[in-house]
Structure 1
Amino acid sequence: MFMADRIVLMRGGRIVQTGTPQQLYCAPQDPFVVTFFGEVNRLEGEVRGGYVHTAVGPVGTQLDEGSRAQVLVRPEALRVVEIEAPASHEHHSHVLMARLLGRTSLLHLCVHGVEGQEAHMHARVPGVFLPQEGQAVQVSLDPSQAFVFAADDDAGELL
């Protein structure tokens, strides 16, 4: 991506998307394009009122009302903030594991949404951020790095 002016991304002998590195990374037209550039979190839901309601909040979409959707979220799209520990983790997001990777920290999270959704997600945060296992956190989403597709679109193998 650093050296290219344009990229042609192919899968199974057919062109999936052509464009600048920024276009492919920021405006993928296919789930495969999202997964091609690295690990993603995969969430599913139903479109209601123009949004897919996920454990990390609503994500806007143009898909038809009532249709099933998949939401692909890059680990760097998650913002994680430690909060005061509630009495129980049953309905609160919390840290399952934190590992330092050098320039970034990788968090495994159990995320709970306001509508009762639960998801195991990975977050990649800059610098040294190593909350203890079980630490209660607030997780929010940068919607520019969340991509919605019809649930039956094939993302290939998710990394």
Structure 2
Amino acid sequence: MSRSEMPQVKRVTLENVSKAYGSFKAVKDVSLAIEPGEFVTLLGPSGSGKTSTLMMVAGFESPSSGAIKVDGVDVVRRAPKDRNFGIVFQGYALFPHLSARQNVEFPLRMRGVEKSRRRSMALEMLEKVGLAGLEERRPRELSGGQQQRVALARALVFQPDALLLDEPLGALDKSMRERMQYEIKSLQRKLGISVLFVTHDQEEAMTMSDRIAVMNHGQIVQIGTPRELYASPRTPFVASFFGETNLLSCVADTAGSGAVKVTLASGFSFPAASDVERAQLSRHPETFVSIRPEKISVLAADERAEIMVDAVVREVAFLGKFVRVCTVASGVEITSIIGNAPERISRLAEGAAIRLGWSREDAKVLGVDVEPGDMQVAGSGRETHDMSVQLREAV
């Protein structure tokens, strides 16, 4: 695909998109913009509404309300084949009786592309995804990773406005997943295409995404870069779902103009950082503070930290370059992850008395989570459809 043949990159937006199945609301008021060339991930547990959201963008589900726009044009009433989105499912949905080349040619044939032209385009795209020489093999003759590449080539060959990926790496083993994460991201950057990606895997989302929309109970609860979401979660759900953390129940005190002070059930108090509006904390003072384990130091006798607390070692776990130290401090369990330095870990026997330390900025006061209310998620029925039927609808 020459530079002159590259598709014009489009902006895809969702505006207050909701989906109800009878009395059940699977998606509620989702608004999201995927900027040209951006890789955006919908991340959440099973039943959070992420796949239902992607299926509405693809056109396999119709929103109960809201708009889905491509460069400002609402496409809600368009059939999947008229939306010009490339789609890769978890099961790949390859036609078993067709070769890799014929699978990639399929959307071009449906668009009326002349035979010799679609053959050359398919071969070029298969080369781009690293399958040169395997063009005539059928899916059963390819590995899982190779099948995934065929599905990716088929989704890209007709120059879509955006690429939609629904858990595309779920069937691969860990090493192949990691390799394909890199290859998909590399290809996306090379082509400059916009991507909407669905996964429940936090590490996968952090590795691949420019921005991540964390979903829970059918709503987006926080959007940001991987670094922003990890460093500054806004709610207990985001803090606990997006990486390991110490989530400590506390009461927040917003008196004064300085840092928010939090008090644990044991009575231990310390200043903490907060992105939550002080008015909200005044209404909901009983909340949580999140401290990432790697931000908590095990202090030597002559070391000091902004906040310090005495602790007793409960368990020590060897993690290679790191050591996880589980302790009880001021009546609560606190976990620290420290470097595997002999001088640090030699005194960390079970029952040993130590001192933990952290900074105010690393203790994040959290807001209130989304209440599920009537956000019960019913099955969308997508699983009952044959994927090859969906593919034909899409192309």
TM-score band, normalised by shorter chain: 0.7 to 0.9
Q: What is the rounded CA distance, in whole Å, between the counterparts of 1:56 and 1:96 in structure 2?
A: 22
Q: What is the rounded CA distance, in whole Å, between the counterparts of 2:238 and 2:371 in structure 1?
A: 8
**Is contact 2:262-2:269 (8 Å) kept?**
no
Distance 1:94 1:155, change over 3 A: farther
Matches within 5 A, 1:7-156: 7-48=212-253, 49=255, 50-54=260-264, 55=268, 57-61=270-274, 62=278, 63-64=281-282, 67-83=285-301, 92-112=310-330, 118-128=331-341, 129-130=344-345, 131-150=348-367, 153=369
Q: TM-score, structure 1 length as denominator?
A: 0.74
Aligned residue-pair number: 144
Distance 1:155 1:45, change over 3 A: farther
1:115-143 alpha-carbon deviations (Å, 9 max, x no partner): xxx21111111224431112211111233
Identity rate of aligned residues, in percent? 29
Q: What is the rounded CA distance, in whole Å, between the counterparts of 1:155 and 1:106 in structure 2?
A: 33
**Is contact 1:42-1:71 (8 Å) kept?**
yes
Distance 1:79 1:30, change over 3 A: same
Q: What is the rounded CA distance, in whole Å, between the counterparts of 1:125 and 1:3 in structure 2?
A: 26
Q: What is the rounded CA distance, in whole Å, between the counterparts of 1:96 and 1:44 in structure 2?
A: 20
Q: TM-score, structure 2 length as denominator?
A: 0.33
As a proportion of its length, which structure holds more strand?
1
Q: What is the rounded CA distance, in whole Å, between the counterparts of 2:301 and 2:230 in structure 1?
A: 32
**Structure 1 residue 78, shift from structure 2 partner:** 1.1
As a proportion of its length, which structure holds more helix?
2
Equivalent residue number for residue 171 of structure 2: none
CA RMSD of aligned residues (A): 2.9
1:88-134 alpha-carbon deviations (Å, 9 max, x no partner): xxx9422111121111101111112xxxxx21111111224431112
Establish whether residue 6 from structure 1 lines up as the match of residue 211 from structure 2: yes
**Is contact 1:106-1:123 (8 Å) kept?**
yes
Q: Higher relative contact order by CA 8 Å / sep ≥ 6: 1 or 2?
A: 1
Distance 1:21 1:70, change over 3 A: same
1:54-84 alpha-carbon deviations (Å, 9 max, x no partner): 4483324432289222112221121112549
Distance 1:95 1:103, change over 3 A: same
What 5-or-longer segments of structure 1 have no aligned partner?
Answer: 85-90, 113-117
Larger radius of gyration: 2
Q: What is the rounded CA distance, in whole Å, between the counterparts of 1:140 and 1:45 in structure 2?
A: 18
